[in-house]
Structure 1
Amino acid sequence: MVFENGSPIHTVWKSDLYRMQLEAPVPVPIICDQIIPYKPPCFGQDYHGRLSHVEESNLLHSQPNGAYLVRDSRSGNGQFYTLSLKFNDKIHHYKLFHDAKSGLYIREKRYDCAQSLVADGLITMYLELKAPVILQKLTTVNYQESPYMTLNKRKLKALSKENTVNLNVFGSTNSESSPLLQHSSMQNIPDKTEKMHTFKVTTFKGLNWCELCANFLWGFTLQGKKCEDCGVIAHIKCSENFANDCVPDLKYLRGVFGIELTTLLSAYKAELPFVVTKCITEVEARGLYTEGIYRLSGFADEIDAIKMALDKDGEKADLSVKRYPSINVITGALKLYLRILPVPLITFEVHPRLIDAILV
């Protein structure tokens, strides 16, 4: 239970879908007791080779819901097979595809074996049968009334409180009167951000609930999406309804190279990436009189070593002259950082306009 003054949400993490998942039928493989020649290696004893509809019906008719078998498809020509599954006292047939790299699949999900596929499918079919109203609401959730608004407001308030403490300790944010803050990563951030969530379809371990609708993320694989920057999780459909208020968290960032600039600055609460600051500090200290400072390339191995150090150690990475005597590897690392930004400094939207302005 989560409570917040003025929040329209009182019960967070509703367990209805979780309870229904536990009630869903379990897979019951129909074992083939005959030796099937040329059996595909992706199938086990639940593969029956060529079966007629009559034979398949006879095998499944007296079995409980969840019983299944895999057989050759007459129209598949080896490109796909047929999964015959008993559910809700009816026999259903599905085209079952196989990929040597990704395994068995019916739609977008991938499975190691037919039993895992059936187990996941039975849960979805059962929920669609027993909870169509709940599933339909996933596409119409009001973001302003979601539990996530309650949790996210708390996170934003905590960040604002932390920034207030920093300001009280270090003084004004005026960069002219406070040189310390000018070079510090502790900058004030607004209570509201305008960053989109970076959602990616994810397989979750353990019990997880959607942070928009508060319903259980059912299934065994690829149950929902997770934001790579702040860690918020949601149903695939619910992820489309989130506002642009991602608050990046350092524990979810994979280093600093290749990280979108807005995400990095929000996570570090800074106005400049520390990679740029550290590299330029070294250049100003020992490279201003070096010929071809940003033109000549340094050794690739040393540039990669700097990249790994900055990704691993962050602002504590050692870029001193004792560690890297050649200033060209420092400038090479800076150029690499800028080159692999997902969104370049001159954005894709602005670049054509800049070219047009140059040609005028």
Structure 2
Amino acid sequence: MDVEAFLQVAEELIAVPSTADRPRELERALELVLEFVGPGFTVERFERAGKPSALVYPEGAGGRPDFRVILNGHVDVVPALPEQFRPRREGDRLYGRGAQDMKVSALVEAQVFRELATMVPYALGLQVVTDEEVGGRNGTLHQIEQGVTAGFVVIGEFSGLRVVNESKGIVVARLHAVGRAAHSAYQWSGDNALLKLQRSVDNLLAKYPVPEAEQWRTTVNVARIHTPNQAFNQVPALAEAWLDIRFPPEDTDFNGRSAEEIAGYLADFCEPGVTPSIDSADPPHHADPASAELLALQRAARDQGYSGDLLRKHGAADGRFYYQHGVDAVIFGVGGDGLHGPSEYADISTIAPYHRALTRFLREL
């Protein structure tokens, strides 16, 4: 591949502030990738809840095929300061929001698809979505619900050419506290919802403390604590906490449980007047390490001088939706660092090997 020409397009894509609250920029990022793929392909478009996505495959396929392989990438990013949408290069690093997660990998997938889709003796698809950072339910999951099928899926999230075949499950939950308002000078006349909520959160964190270093165990992130109270001299009557819970397969308090059962489990940590609710609950993701496709992907990475080692990730990705439908999906992407931070970058030296590894993998299936 012509890495310099590729990087020029990658920088253009990174410069698009495609955050969830900017629907026009989501559309612009999606269109940029589709333009990069070029003509000669069928582009099937989807949209739900204002989040567009696309599925690309060769023309003349006689309708949407059952794909042997789908290359999946997302072009939405988390919010950042304006300067992070001005990409810059320093040595082998391409800095910018989305460089590592995962615009560079998505664009490599698009190039590999463009080069091979009409050459391989099976149905190859490219899936580009714009909502992975906010849950993926209106992109990848929506397409699956519309009948998109595959035998194997490569999610282009960053991995440094290692193969991620396991990731934690995710529960998005809220704790709702109800108390009784009163004048703050007469606290005994009220019931402070915020204090009850705080004690409930403390109970939960006593069971799941914030780890001091990486550990393969359940974690609970308190993402927000809020009360609608607007007065210093009023006891809050209502309060709410947002929880992001990540759990490995071994934690049977979450894994294999329904949303109702998980809410019941969380209720055990709550003070009277505090009630849990579950926004979503997705199981851990797993792909068979002995599958022919996964082994072939590892060989392709090793042929480029990389270990191709198996990894497990703490974060969830859209592969979990395929897993829930009985399809093996793995994460395989470029290298980099600074995920979601102010110094996010992609490792430029991994781009060409990633392209070659994906190419070899698809040719040898």
TM-score by length of 2: 0.22
Greater strand proportion: 2
Greater helix proportion: 1
Q: Which structure has the bigger radius of gyration?
A: 1
